[in-house]
Chain A
């Protein structure tokens, strides 16, 4: 399964723009590495050439030095006669010597005082140079007489191929005892040395130097060529090596777009292969997580079927498909009959098990024909695609038949599951998904009203269409009312029958219609429940009622309100905390607020409601059990629900004066309430006789048109007290006085 919700276009465009700006002005990795490689090679090459130059230079100079010293020694000897006695052969010999070595630039002989007396250059030109040896140099050269290295070498840093050698010329004679005392084995034979003069040898190895430079130029050219070739080869190799990284760009971009099914090419190199594997693992993990999230978002946790949101999506898509393809489909709304009975008698876990079993059965029954969803507690929906009306009917009948076969065993009780199915056909996009769901729901109720365990097709009369349109219209109005604060409160007094005084007011919700009329909640609350607006309405009600109570209590400090909350409010985990925060915010004592919960709601979510009631009572609020007496086992729950008031269902009160059964029931409820320490309230009290009768039957409070209609502000009124009640009250007061 591929991913997932695509990124919003805006985000995608932003990311693309960021990518583009990120790429702009950034260097290529290949060029970077190649530059580094070439730089290193160039540096190494330069060092090598430098080393070659200096090494060659050093070798040459070393050789020059050796040759020069050898020549100096020879010239020293050759020139000896110049100092002592003229020898006709000395000049030709010197010429021959100088002519033999082209590196010798000039040879000059000096007297011992440093004055030159003979010079011959490489052109064998004889002269007597004028420049004498300086005194400083003379002193240094004189010190070299008899030394192991009797010469000075002067070289020019800027002209490495030319240098000169200066050496003293001296004579030596054995000491005074002559050769009679001579002992050649003795290390130190006395001798006398006498400085005769100096010889200067000027050398120019330019030829060899030029040859060295030529060789170095050739080497440099070869090195440059090698650099270029290695750069080209290196670039090619790098490109080849980095191609897998470049290849990752596209799949990573796809991954960034949310495409988790993207494939990564396996890489040859270990480093890149690791990256590829990591990316593939990441994509896989993201896919799994997305799948899980998607599952959570689209499926009912209990049954695994599509939840309401996803089913509506499917329905919407199918409506478009039907309109486009001119096919037909059917929407089945399935409501389990008597599911509440299982829940009430065996508890919620048992109910959950039953729901799972029904879901499995439905899935099996529908198969590939359509899609099954869980719409609510015991409500399921089936979207059968490409079916005609008979086929839809056949499917519904098979569902009825299959479910009938389901026997659910709980605590040794066997429950047979029956259901009612409402069917609406989809043959155009004339109705949207909300309309279709309403139609199927209505048909289901009709089936249920017709005796349960059956199916009914939705037959849409003109009036029904108008009504549905009106319902849909109500939803939008309700939305508007919440947004624009068009909801309002009305207050109906509740009086104490014994004293006739108004003790508190029930807060009733109304919506202001376009024509200014107030609309009863019966008109819009079912739609609000179905379209998920109850949470907002409950919040608004609690906030507004407590704020109003605080305002009214400034003039009537003993004013108390009773608020009706939906099942949604009691399902909210933070109900108690929210109420407490509102009371604290408005400065209203908690015991001034009573919360009413219907018996059916309390019975359906007993454990949860129990905790909420306990929480509300803990902070000081009071709780009233509304519509008491309509359930199957109302009395058995009284012990489990620690409420303060029992509000008797209006069905027992409407005909109370004339119906002795109702009187018995009311009397019994009153007695049970007293026994349980709870006060009883009778609602829908209209005739005055009923009020009087209720007093006789032992009911504590009354509410109804006889006492007061809902008004825009709380009105305190006092009712005439029934005689019996008055007498009872007097007796009670008398007993108190006597006791005291």
Chain B
């Protein structure tokens, strides 16, 4: 699927599905709300699918970028190869991939530099021919801890279970908790079954549990059982996605879509201008959105009116 562009759109021509909310990402409302520096190059946005978080990021990107091209890989009317061929012919200078599939496809098919976001377990392969930079999938852990403590001042012990390959994240977590004088323990699991097993044994010893978006070690049934176990042990779970509040978890410290979009555009601009080498492989975010769940009613409530969004500088 493609979003109509201001200039002649690259083929293939696709249609926009009716989706009242969120507003279609294909129809960004110019001008950009805010940009540290005007991005003049043409960019192509490639989405893995039309999930809520992906759509919001795309929408934010649409507000910053000038008539971006939008491709949805879940649209099966064209293959990823055809989609990226269209991107190459469109005159775009860079590809912004949202989601794991989009990032993976961009590594394979794109002839343009790639900036990916909303991807947690991703490492560019060695054979990638184009410059690849990423934006962090989750807000900075120190911010998360601060917000968490605001919501639950009694929090003393935090636990986490991750798949392998997240040593830097673990280090960040240890630093963030140590800075706030919190105890932190973690386990490395290889499967959802092991995650559950480990969580059951960890639950009696922690007050809060950091649920990272490592899909390799999580499944829907295990998530549900973990929520049940946490309920029994009085453990509050902090998640990275507001949608998970529906499962009955306590707190959502999700990334701010506009922050993601701004950071992605910022990284893209530097790459396009030839300053890619000065940009880290994974650029951290600055802000986060906090939402708390009312467990008794299993309905989400926000800590403040509307989105509890905090800018890195503390503004809402």
Contact = CB atoms under 8 A, between A and B. Distances in A.
B243 A178 contact: no
A189 interface: yes
Contacts of A177: 48-49, 51, 99-101, 215
B316 interface: no
Interface in A628-654: none
A172 B197 contact: no
A153 B217 CA distance: 30
A720 interface: no
A174 B51 contact: no
B258 interface: no
B269 interface: no
A170 B196 CA distance: 13
Given A177-B49, A178-B215, A194-B191, A77 B121 contact: no
Contacts of A173: 191-192, 215-219
Contact of B219 (A77, A81, A174, A180): A174
Given A84-B194, A172-B219, A191-B220, A180 B244 contact: no
Contact of A183 (B48, B51, B221): B51
A542 B209 CA distance: 145
A145 interface: no
A138 B237 CA distance: 39
A578 interface: no
A179 interface: yes
A80 B51 contact: no
Contact of A179 (B54, B190, B241): B241
Contact of B215 (A169, A171, A174, A196): A174
Interface string A53-86: 0000000000000000000000001001100110
Interface in A161-182: 169-182
Contacts of B192: 171-173
Given A84-B191, A177-B48, A177-B99, A183 B219 contact: no
A88 to B, nearest CB: 12
Q: How large is the interface on B (under 10, 10 to 19, 20 to 34, 35 or more residues)?
A: 35 or more
A539 to B, nearest CB: 123
B247 interface: yes
A176 B73 CA distance: 13
B309 interface: no
Q: Which of B120, B192, B217, B220 has the most CB of A within 10 A?
A: B192
Interface residues of A, number: 26
Given A180-B118, A181-B49, A181-B53, A77 B196 contact: yes
Contact of A171 (B51, B104, B191): B191
B131 interface: no
Nearest to B102: A177
Given A179-B215, A179-B244, A181-B48, A174 B191 contact: no
A194 B99 CA distance: 23
B213 interface: yes
A80 B48 contact: no
A738 interface: no
B215 A175 contact: yes
A85 B52 contact: no
B219 A80 contact: no
Given A182-B243, A184-B243, A85 B53 contact: no
Q: Which of B193, B196, B240 has the most CB of A within 10 A?
A: B193
Contact of B241 (A77, A80, A175, A182): A182
B261 interface: no
Given A81-B194, A84-B190, A181 B219 contact: no
B48 A179 contact: no
Interface string A80-108: 11001100000000000000000000000
Contact of A181 (B99, B189, B197, B216): B99
A171 B220 contact: no
A21 interface: no
A185 interface: yes
A173 B195 CA distance: 11
Contacts of A84: 189-191, 193-194
Interface string B41-72: 00000001101111000000000000000000
A665 to B, nearest CB: 153
A180 B121 CA distance: 11
Nearest to B104: A176
Given A172-B222, A173-B217, A173-B219, A180 B194 contact: no
A169 B219 contact: no
B246 interface: yes
Given A77-B197, A173-B218, A191-B219, A180 B191 contact: no
A224 B49 CA distance: 75
A523 to B, nearest CB: 140
Nearest to A179: B213
B271 interface: no
B175 to A, nearest CB: 23
B254 to A, nearest CB: 9
A178 B120 contact: yes
B137 interface: yes
A176 B193 contact: no
Contacts of A174: 215, 218-220
Interface string B206-218: 0000000111111
A169 B193 contact: yes
B54 A196 contact: no
A480 to B, nearest CB: 129
B197 A184 contact: no
Nearest to A184: B246
Contacts of B49: 177, 181
A178 B193 contact: no
B120 A183 contact: no
A114 to B, nearest CB: 19
Nearest to A173: B216
Contacts of B101: 176-177
B194 A181 contact: no
A180 B193 contact: no
Interface in B256-284: none
Nearest to B224: A184
Interface string B233-252: 00000001101101100000
A181 B217 contact: no
A85 B190 CA distance: 9
A199 to B, nearest CB: 12
Contacts of B118: 180
Interface in A395-435: none
A718 B213 CA distance: 169
Contacts of B121: 178
Nearest to A170: B193
Contacts of B194: 80-81, 84-85, 171
Contacts of B240: 179-180
A657 to B, nearest CB: 162
Q: Which of A180, A182, A191, A194 has the most CB of B within 10 A?
A: A180
Contacts of B104: 176
Contact of B213 (A77, A172, A178, A183): A178
B117 to A, nearest CB: 10
Contacts of A175: 215
Q: Which of A77, A80, A81 has the most CB of B within 10 A?
A: A80
Interface string B25-45: 000000000000000000000
A166 to B, nearest CB: 18
The 6 closest A-B pairs by CB, nearest first: A171-B191, A172-B219, A178-B215, A181-B51, A179-B213, A174-B215
18 contacts: A77-B196, A80-B197, A84-B190, A170-B193, A173-B219, A177-B51, A178-B100, A178-B119, A178-B120, A179-B120, A180-B51, A180-B54, A180-B119, A181-B51, A181-B99, A185-B243, A191-B220, A196-B193
Interface of B: 48-49, 51-54, 99-101, 104, 118-121, 137, 189-194, 196-197, 213-222, 240-241, 243-244, 246-247
Given A80-B193, A173-B216, A180-B51, 11 more contacts: A84-B193, A169-B193, A171-B190, A172-B222, A173-B219, A176-B48, A180-B120, A180-B213, A181-B49, A184-B244, A185-B246
